Each structure stands twice: as structure tokens, then as C-alpha cells.
């Protein structure tokens, strides 16, 4: 099994050497299958399994009627215990292959309830010629109609049913392209984020948003955005088209309450948020902590109780606004990219308005939680130069994690702990936390 959800097989060897790699979805290791090739490339091929001749003992019946057609899940045919084993081995192998890191200790695995765990789900919407809401089909941008999602929270599933009821009644206006549902920690309130095309009419969207808000009492607010024009000079700029009810949710964790607005980054597993915070922050203390790629401040707020000063860096305008609101009295929120901030680690000017930044001392701890693209070589080198004795790397992609560890290990860091935090059961996505010291 390889990262991405596929099984790796090989065609028979030929006069050019070892047989070509073949990637096959929805299989398990050591199964004997009959498959059809669907794509041939110079270096690899793709295939689909026509029949499972000798199934794995870990194979089970999938829990969703859309599985194998929907592109959202990849492992529903495997027992949950085996899913964890697959992910653990993929993480270990990625570290070994790319970072040349043979762990002298076991990876600590933190499981999740395997169903109804998502607090955020985004559906694609098609209004005409007939209403459809759902997810993209596997490996395509073709829309698959989905009326329930077993990995999403019960409240989100009720909201999906409400959306379909509205669509079938012809109430969803033209121009609605996406609807995202975000539920609070105890699944009692919901924020609806609607993405609209340029031709959407404000009055029609407002009438529909008000009806949706009234149809499900748990909906705290509906915010609709109009997509930016391609020629807009502000990259990613979005116009608020309509706002009905609350413009944000309060997400309560064991350590703090967070304001989260539409478009802000926040963890999506409603069961493991506190566990993740504990893994990252427990036992950490000192004068100065940096929280890089801070989002709405999930880790920053927890760190603030054990550090004299916490600097949180976030580039997104929406997340930065929530970060500033959520920060503690001893916290400092900086809107900048991590690269900009680290490049001016002593004194520099960052962002609009030429805000003067200063890191008063060498940080005792740096927490990084980058997107799937990882840190990249320049940020990893800047982070190494910063000289924090402890770095905690929160990763959602083992390949970029392993790549980024190479310069950190070369700079004298060593890996002290590795955690697999299963924020995304039934999917190949893999969250990990690596503790580094030097």
C-alpha cells in the first residue's frame, strides 16, 4: 500500500528489466486480484480491480453506498485497525526512504472514532439543468450526487439533507457553486459558507440564505461570497455577497474557546482536536514560543499559558483576523508568510503598512503546521538558522515532511518522538507530529 490510497503491483518482467509499476485503488496488500489496465505511461500504469480472487483477512464491507465512486474515501474496504497499520507503515517508510531516518522507537498511534468525525464538509453544487449536490468522482471533476456522508458529523448530514430538500424545491439560486458546512465542537451549531459565481444575484441569494437559516435551527449563520474576477489585483479577493445571522462560530476545546470565521483554517476532526493540542503543547514551556502557520490560533492559545510570550504567524487575512481575536494577552499575532517572518528574524518590515517586527530572544520552541506543500527548502533552512532548541512539526503529508526533515537533521536536530494522529479515517490522508530537539 502506498501514500495516495493505491496498492502497488508490477507487470511481469521483460527484457528491459523489472516490470512496470501498476497502481490499483481499493485493494489491500497481498491480495490476489484480476485487474484491467486503464492507463499506460512510460514509467507506470494504472488499473482497476475487476475481481478479488484471494481477499485480505482485513477486507470488510464498506460503510458508505458511494464508496469507490466518490473521491473522498479510499480505505473503507479495510478494517479500521488495519487502516492504522497501513498509515503507520507508509509514514515509517517515507521517513526511511527520503530522510534516511530509521526510527529507533515506535510511532505512537492516536486513533479516532472512524465515522461521523468531520466537523467541516464542502459540497459542490450544480443548480441547472437539475439540482445536484455532492463530491467529485474518483480522479475526476465530474460531480457525483451525494445525499449523505458517513464521515461527516450527524448535524452536517442533517444540513446536507436540508440542502437537497431546498434544491429539489427549486429554491437554490443560479450561481451557487459550493456549500461548506462547519460544525462546532459539540455538533450543536453550524456555519454555512456559500461560494457563488459572478452572475449570482444578491437578492436571490439573500432570500435563499434566509430560508436555509430558518429551515434548520442549528444553523447559526449563512455567509455567501462572490468569486473574485480573474483580473482582480487582490489575489484571492472575495466579495461578501450576503450575511445572514452569525458571521462566525465559537469552537470550544478543553483549553480555550476560539472564534472561527468562514474561510479560516481549523482542524476538521471533532474528536481529536484536544488530543492533537496535547501532543503538540504538553510539557513545553519557556520564554518565547513561535507558532508558524498558526491558522486561528489553536496551538498558540494553549502555548500561552506556559510561555512568557507567543508569536503567531499567519498569512491568510481571514485566519489572521480570527488569530488576533483569539490571541492571549501575552500573544502577538503577525500577518505574514512564515518565509517573510523568518527571513526578518531579527528586525524587518513585513506586509502592508510596513509593520516593524522584532524577535526579542531566540525562541525556546517553534511549532510549524504547514499546508500539504510543506515548508520547502528555504523555510526549513531559515528555521534551522533560527536556532530554537525544540521544533515541533505538524504535517499532513508524509512525503513533504520527510523532504523537510533532511535540512533540519543536517542542521543538528534529532527526532525525539513521532506521532500518527488519525484525523482522517477512511481516507489515505495522514496527520503526523514530529518532535525535534538539538
**Residue 420, strand partner residues:** 109, 432
Is the bond into 357 cis (omega within 30 degrees of 0)? Answer: no
Q: What pLDDT, on a 0 to 100 scale, did the predictor assign at position 237?
A: 58
**Which residue bears the cell 496535547?**
278
Q: pLDDT grade, residue 6 (50/70/90)? A: very high
User: Is pLDDT above 80 for 357?
Assistant: no
Using alpha carbons, list the distances in angstroms from residue 433 to 261, 356, 383, 396.
26, 32, 17, 9
**Which of 146-155, 226-235, 350-359 has the highest mean predicted lDDT (pLDDT)?**
146-155
Number of neighbours of residue 55 by Cβ within 10 angstroms = 15
**Rounded percentage of the chain residues whose pLDDT exceeds 90:** 89
Q: 175-213, pLDDT tens digit by residue?
A: 999 999 999 999 999 999 999 999 999 999 999 999 999
Taking a C-beta distance cutoff of 8 angstroms, is the pair 418, 108 a contact? yes
Please report, to the nearest 10 degrees, the dihedral formed by the alpha carbons of residues 117, 256, 393, 280 taken in order. Answer: -90
User: Is pLDDT above 60 for 410?
Assistant: yes
Q: What pLDDT, on a 0 to 100 scale, did the predictor assign at position 344?
A: 84
User: Is pLDDT above 60 for 358?
Assistant: no
Average pLDDT of the chain to the nearest whole number: 94
Q: What pLDDT, on a 0 to 100 scale, did the predictor assign at position 67?
A: 98
Query: Please, which residues have CB within 8 angstroms of residue 10's CB and are 6 or more apart in sequence?
Result: 18, 19, 20, 21, 22
Strands 249-252 and 257-260: what pairing? antiparallel
Amino acid at each position: 500500500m502506498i501514500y495516495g490510497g493505491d496498492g502497488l503491483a508490477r507487470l511481469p518482467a521483460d527484457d528491459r528489466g523489472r516490470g512496470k509499476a501498476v497502481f490499483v485503488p481499493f485493494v489491500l496488500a497481498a491480495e490476489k486480484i484480476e485487474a484491467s489496465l486503464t492507463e499506460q505511461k512510460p514509467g507506470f500504469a494504472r488499473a482497476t480491480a475487476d475481481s478479488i480472487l484471494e481477499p485480505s483477512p482485513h477486507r470488510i464491507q464498506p460503510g458508505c453506498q458511494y464508496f469507490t465512486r466518490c473521491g473522498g474515501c479510499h480505505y473503507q474496504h479495510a478494517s479500521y485497525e488495519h487502516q492504522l497499520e497501513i498509515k503507520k507503515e507508509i509514514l515509517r517508510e517515507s521517513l526511511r526512504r527520503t530522510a534516511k531516518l530509521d526510527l529507533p522507537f515506535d510511532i505512537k498511534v492516536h486513533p479516532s472514532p472512524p465515522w461521523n468525525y468531520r466537523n467541516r464538509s464542502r459540497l459542490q453544487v450544480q443548480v441547472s439543468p437539475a439540482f445536484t449536490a455532492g463530491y467529485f468522482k474518483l480522479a475526476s471533476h465530474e460531480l457525483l450526487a451525494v445525499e449523505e456522508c458517513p464521515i461527516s458529523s450527524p448535524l452536517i448530514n442533517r444540513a446536507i439533507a436540508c440542502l437537497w430538500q431546498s434544491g429539489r424545491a427549486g429554491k437554490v439560486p443560479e450561481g451557487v457553486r459550493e456549500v461548506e458546512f462547519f460544525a462546532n465542537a459539540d455538533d450543536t451549531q453550524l456555519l454555512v459558507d456559500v461560494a457563488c459565481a459572478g452572475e449570482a444575484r444578491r437578492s436571490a441569494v439573500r432570500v435563499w440564505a434566509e430560508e436555509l437559516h430558518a429551515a434548520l435551527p442549528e444553523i447559526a449563520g449563512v455567509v455567501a461570497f462572490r468569486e473574485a474576477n480573474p483580473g482582480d489585483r487582490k489575489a484571492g479577493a472575495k466579495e461578501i455577497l450576503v450575511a445572514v445571522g452569525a458571521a462566525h462560530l465559537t469552537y470550544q476545546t478543553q483549553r480555550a474557546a476560539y472564534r472561527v470565521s468562514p474561510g479560516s483554517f481549523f482542524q476538521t476532526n471533532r474528536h481529536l482536536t484536544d488530543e492533537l493540542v496535547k501532543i503538540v503543547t504538553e510539557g513545553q514551556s519557556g520564554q518565547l514560543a513561535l507558532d508558524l502557520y498558526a491558522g486561528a490560533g489553536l496551538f498558540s492559545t494553549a502555548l500561552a499559558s506556559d510561555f512568557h510570550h507567543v508569536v503567531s504567524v499567519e498569512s491568510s487575512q481571514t485566519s489572521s483576523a480570527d488569530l488576533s481575536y483569539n490571541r492571549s494577552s501575552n500573544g502577538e499575532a503577525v500577518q505574514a508568510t512564515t518565509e517573510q517572518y523568518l527571513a526578518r528574524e531579527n528586525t524587518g518590515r513585513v506586509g502592508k503598512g510596513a509593520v516593524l517586527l522584532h524577535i526579542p530572544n531566540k525562541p525556546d520552541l517553534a511549532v510549524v503546521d504547514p499546508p500539504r506543500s510543506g515548508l520547502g527548502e528555504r523555510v526549513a533552512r531559515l528555521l534551522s538558522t533560527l536556532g530554537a532548541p525544540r521544533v515541533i512539526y505538524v504535517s499532513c503529508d508524509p512525503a513533504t515532511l520527510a523532504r523537510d526533515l533532511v535540512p533540519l537533521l543536517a542542521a543538528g536536530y534529532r527526532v525525539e518522538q513521532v506521532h500518527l494522529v488519525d484525523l482522517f479515517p477512511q481516507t489515505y490522508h495522514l496527520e503526523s507530529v514530529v518532535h525535534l530537539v538539538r
